[in-house]
Structure 1
Amino acid sequence: MIKIALSVLLALSVASSNETSLKSGNCEVAQEGGITVSFKAYKTPAKIGVGGIFDSVVYTPAVKVAKDASALLVGSSVSIDTASVNSKDKGRDAKLVASFFQVMSTQKITAKILEAKAGQFIVEVTMNGVTKNVPMSFVVEDKKVVASGTIDLFDFSANKALASINQACFEKHAGKTWSDVTIGFTTNLTYPSCK
């Protein structure tokens, strides 16, 4: 019983020490692998979400190692090939490419993280030739950064593309395709040196 109690105390002590070390900036953080860019668009008057990812994303990190996740990611950027959209439905993906993304002036979406403060990234997003700063809330959990925000397609002058996909999917969307889209990204973290 004493051994069990000592083991529990030791485990709690180590966990507390690691948490303090992370918070006090004694650890360096790096990315492990690439970055996954996701989206969720909405259809029908009931606003049913349809999500997916982009399979072709060119990620350019700003630094290799930093004191925390925010410092690691600020300055990093992505270039997204919209033809690589993957909603786990090939027919739908083909329609998204032909009737939405190809209707826009460019078939690439770019984004760059400009700053981070109070659990929020400010991300410069360029789509359809229009650039906007988009706030994205983020959390760091289980050695992973998870970020999420919302864009309005009208802000990116994508009215024509929205009307096109609404027409192409009129029956399935019950005549309604929403202009707001949830965007997100995730990336894994590693801690190469914790002192």
Structure 2
Amino acid sequence: MRYNRIVFLIAIVQLCLFTSCTSNHADELYPSNDAEAKVYYETTLKSVIDNKCISCHLYHTEGANRYDSYEKSKSNISQMLERINATTNIVMPPADQEQLTEDEKNSFKTFLDILQSETPQGNPIKVTWTAYKYPDFDNRAGVSGTFNTVISYNLNSTAENLIDLLNGANVVIDASSVNVGNEPERTQNVASFFNAFTAQISGTVDSYNNENAWVTFNMNGISQQVVLNVSLETNKIILDGTIPDLNVFNWENAYNVFNAICGEYHENKLWEDVKISIEISNI
């Protein structure tokens, strides 16, 4: 069986990049499956939000925390899930409010799954990232983005099963092509970090099995191997994990450049850990 088109989805999270200067919350990029997601929102999720969330969030002083529309719920769904599943004092709904049932909690996850269920056509490799800002770990906020230009990629074109697409797989992206939600100001601020950090980012699968993949990332001329979890779905491989410390890649200069531009917006704190998600699909 041949897999002649794949989508390689890498969330290479650069804390600095994630630190958007104009928003307090994660910006998720789900351009591909709006039609189905809107139907699910209107028929299922909206009633849950209206009954359990909107009494507070409709009147929230920060617009990013108002979940009274499809677009606002879409852009904040990852943070909403984090709060719903939190075990600290940031859990939502608060303890003194009516709690979500398990089915209601699952509706938020289903909404996210629908948004992510298709990958945009065109470039066969899609790279996205997410990272975090603010000093308080329990209340740190994520910012996500993508890269518009894939310089090169390689997958096992003779793979006879899905997992073997990983055999020798690699991707190289142009770091200067960073895109933060198609917002020019935020993208320019994040680009200042990459201009001082690295021209390219590459990822190479060194080895793998049905549970883990050992992937070497190269940034700023420095390589580090990271162990990612492997999940197999119908015609899809999902790798996820964390780059634990960007200091390994000597990011200090880029950190300082970015902090000089945007430090006041993230309280001079960018977190060093980077979440990664890689999705490889047979299309």
Q: Under TM normalisation by the shorter chain, which class is it? A: 0.7 to 0.9
- The separation in 2 between residues aligned to 1:62 and 1:186, in whole angstroms, is 13
Structure 1 alignment gaps of length 5 or more: 1-27, 191-195
Structure 1 position 118, deviation (Å):
4.0
Residue 5 of structure 1 is matched in structure 2 by: none
- The separation in 2 between residues aligned to 1:120 and 1:170, in whole angstroms, is 37
Report 1:109-188 matches (<5 A): 109-151=201-243, 152-188=245-281
1:152-184 per-residue CA deviation (whole Å, 9 max, x = no partner) reads 210111122123223321122122111112122
How many residues were matched structurally? Answer: 161
Matching residue's letter, 2:272: S
Structure 1 position 135, deviation (Å):
1.4
Residue 131 of structure 2 is matched in structure 1 by: 41
More strand by share: 1
Residue 107 of structure 1 is matched in structure 2 by: 199
Query: Which of the numbers 186, 206, 215 marks the counterpart of 1:92?
Result: 186
Superposed CA RMSD: 1.8
- The separation in 2 between residues aligned to 1:150 and 1:168, in whole angstroms, is 26
Residue 32 of structure 1 is matched in structure 2 by: 5
1:82-126 per-residue CA deviation (whole Å, 9 max, x = no partner) reads 11112202211111112x11112x311111111112421111111
Tell me, what secondary structure is at the counterpart of 1:71?
helix
Residue 121 of structure 2 is matched in structure 1 by: none
**Which one is further off, 160-169 or 41-50?**
160-169
Structure 1 position 31, deviation (Å):
4.7
Query: Which of the numbers 61, 68, 79 marks the counterpart of 2:154?
Result: 61
Determine which structure has more spread, i.e. the larger CA radius of gyration.
1
Structure 1 position 60, deviation (Å):
2.5
Aligned-residue sequence identity (percent) comes to 30
- The separation in 1 between residues aligned to 2:228 and 2:184, in whole angstroms, is 29
Return closer, same or farther for 1:112/1:37 CA change in 2, 3 Å cut-off.
same
User: TM-score, normalization: structure 2?
Assistant: 0.53
1:28-66 per-residue CA deviation (whole Å, 9 max, x = no partner) reads 351524222221111112221111121111342242131
1:4-30 per-residue CA deviation (whole Å, 9 max, x = no partner) reads xxxxxxxxxxxxxxxxxxxxxxxx351
- The separation in 1 between residues aligned to 2:152 and 2:167, in whole angstroms, is 13
Structure 1 position 69, deviation (Å):
2.5
- The separation in 2 between residues aligned to 1:56 and 1:39, in whole angstroms, is 14
1:128-165 per-residue CA deviation (whole Å, 9 max, x = no partner) reads 11011111222222422222222221011112212322
